[in-house]
Amino acid sequence: MTLQLQHVVKKYKDFTAVNDLNFTIGTGEIFGLIGQNGAGKTTTFRMILDLQDQTAGSITWEGTPIKKINRDWLGYLPEERGIFPQMKVEEQLYFFGHLRGMDRTELKKEIDFWMNRFDLEEKRNDKAETLSKGNQQKVQLIASFIHQPKFLILDEPFSGLDPVNRDLLKNAILFLKEKGMTILFSSHQMDNVEELCDHLCILKRGVSLFSGSLLDLKKQYGKTKLTIRTDVHQEDLAKMAGVKEVKKVRDEYVLTLMDESFAKPIFEVVSNGSYIEKFSLDYLSLDEIFKEKVGGEHA
């Protein structure tokens, strides 16, 4: 395993920001750290980056204390903008690369590749402040991994991106994973976490509510989400055994069941022995689980 947090605690006088946090991230894995604002995510990132000391516990990289590893092995995309508004895009990337010890020849190769991949070729000589929010985010993202770190932390990487650019970023993250980079990221957009991560940790007020595989998390709740397209009225569906809730979503009904065993008798009633256009039983989405586990809307 690559990164390991064991019984990590961070206190600020009487306030405990992170309390007994444990998780492990494997080599070449994308791991999600999710929680509401103030849950302790950024504090955890800063401790991993050795920008803050933990109060207790250990953080190790392949068994070595995080303080003792080569800092160039790490990359970090903060949630706040960290690029220079008056500096041209290409100059910024050379600047950040030089800070990490890269020479101009190897930097040019990386910059050319990522400028092309992120559709930024025509923005090379533009000042950062003239770029759209989405393009600024793409430049900052490139700056975070231009030196090809072994471990990359992405804090809200999808902020400000439209659907097209979000897909560009997702594909880039998967590309970096394929090259062997280990990635830890946080996002309030649960569909992104669900699509990219095999493992995750859910934080609430500094405490881990769950740490493990996404599938294991979903299995805790079982297949209780039933989506059907039927002429049966909503009121009649709500009266069926095992149905906790019924919502109408466009031309479909989404039923929340007590457990998946109730699906078969519902199917028999709804289909009545004939063709039914849609009957789909599945796990809850990560977004639905997050709201139930953490409580309230995440923002």
Strands 74-77 and 64-65: unpaired
What is the per-residue pLDDT for 298?
Answer: 40
Give residue-wise pLDDT tens across range 90-116: 999 999 999 999 999 999 999 999 999
The answer to whether 57 and 9 have CB atoms below 8 angstroms apart is: yes
What is the per-residue pLDDT for 79?
Answer: 85
What is the per-residue pLDDT for 248?
Answer: 95
List, for the chain, all residue ranges whose pLDDT scores fall below the cut of 70: 1, 296-299
What is the per-residue pLDDT for 296?
Answer: 52
The answer to whether 43 and 10 have CB atoms below 8 angstroms apart is: yes
| Three-state secondary structure call for residue 194 | helix
Q: Point out which residues pair with 153 in neighbouring strands.
A: 76, 184
- Tracing tokens 């995510």 back to the chain, one arrives at 41
Helix ranges (H only) for 118-201 are 133-145, 163-178, 190-196
> What Rg value do the Cα atoms of the chain yield, rounded?
23
Phi and psi at residue 296, in whole multiples of 5°? 80, 170
What is the per-residue pLDDT for 1?
Answer: 62
What is the per-residue pLDDT for 65?
Answer: 95
The answer to whether 87 and 138 have CB atoms below 8 angstroms apart is: no
User: 90: closest CA among 75, 68, 112, 70?
Assistant: 112
What is the per-residue pLDDT for 297?
Answer: 44
The span from the CA of 292 to the CA of 284, in Å, is 10
Phi and psi at residue 241, in whole multiples of 5°? -60, 135
Domains of the chain with CATH codes:
3-218 (3.40.50.300), 223-282 (3.30.70.330)
